[in-house]
Homo-oligomer: A and B are copies of this chain.
Amino acid sequence: MSAQRVTINDVTARDGFQIEPTWIPTPDKIALIDALSATGLAKIEATSFTSPKAIPNLADAGEVMSGITRVSGIDYVALIPNEKGVERALDVGTDELNFVMSASDSHGRANLRMTAEQSLARFADMVDMAGHSTRLNASISTAFGCPFQGPVPAERVLEIVAAIADLGIDGVTLCDTTGMANPLQVAALCEAVGERHPGLQLTLHPHDTRGMGLANALAAWQVGVMRFDAALGGLGGCPYAPGASGNICTEDLVHMFECMGIATGCNLDRLIAASATLPALIGHDTPGQVVKAGKADRRYSLPEHAR
Contact = CB atoms under 8 A, between A and B. Distances in A.
A23 interface: no
A240 B289 CA distance: 14
A244 interface: yes
Question: How many copies of the chain does the oligomer comprise?
Answer: 2
Interface residues of A, number: 55
Contacts of A300: 147-148, 240
A209 to B, nearest CB: 5
Contacts of A249: 211
A288 B295 CA distance: 21
Contacts of A280: none
Interface in A202-243: 208-212, 214-215, 217-219, 240-241, 243
Interface stretch (A5-13, A31-39, A89-97, A105-113): A105-113
B218 A290 contact: no
Interface in A19-66: none
A305 B108 CA distance: 12
Contacts of A252: 210-212
Interface stretch (A120-128, A176-184, A191-199): A176-184
A302 interface: yes
Interface stretch (A133-141, A155-163, A164-172, A253-261): A253-261
Contact of A293 (B244, B296, B299): B244
B243 A292 contact: yes
A60 to B, nearest CB: 25
Given A109-B302, A215-B218, A245-B289, 5 more contacts: A110-B302, A181-B296, A182-B259, A210-B295, A210-B296
